[in-house]
Amino acid sequence: MMSGLKLMISALLLVGSLSATSAAYARGGFASENPFAAEHIEALPPKIQRKLSARAKACGKKAAAAHYFSVSIGTNGQHFISLHFEDFACQNRTTICRGGLCLHEVYLQSRAGPRLVFSAHARDLKMVDDDDTIGLEVSGGPLRGRYRWNGGHFVRMTTGKE
């Protein structure tokens, strides 16, 4: 009776380990895919696609980017798109990054098409909804700080400490 119980436990352990191994193997297959894809560029407005195509030539590659290369936010009928060039496929990285800081651009989408409204070399740039107004949080680089959209451009916000 005891050997039958041991046999059943061994069989259950074997099935469990095979299940875990195949799940890990399946996840490993996903991780081996190329994270840079042209689709992340093709989803952007044509005017931005043309700019990125020209930049890609300087980089030495066809335009491709990682999933979070472009981020969108909107409020009060205004729509902004930020581009994060640390997630842009580029063999010649010096064309988009320098000293650990990469290019970040913010476009305002309008009927006439997207218009560049902010550009900085930074460690990161985050767009935020700041009380129904778009704000930027820029970390690293000479333009680090907080900015707020005033209807025409981004204005640096000051604190009482500056």
d(CA 66, CA 3): 55
Helix H or strand E encompassing 23: helix 2-31
Quote the pTM value: 0.75
pLDDT digits (tens, 9 = 90+) for 14-72: 344 434 333 343 434 445 456 778 888 888 999 999 999 888 888 887 778 888 899 99
**Positions of E strands within 90-133:** 97-98, 101-109, 115-122, 124-129
Give Dmax (Cα) for the chain.
82
**What pairs with residue 3 in β-bridges?**
none
Q: What is the pLDDT of residue 33?
A: 54
Tell me if 51 sits within 8 A of 45, measured CB to CB. no
* pLDDT surpasses 70 at 153: yes
Q: What pLDDT score was predicted for residue 24?
A: 40
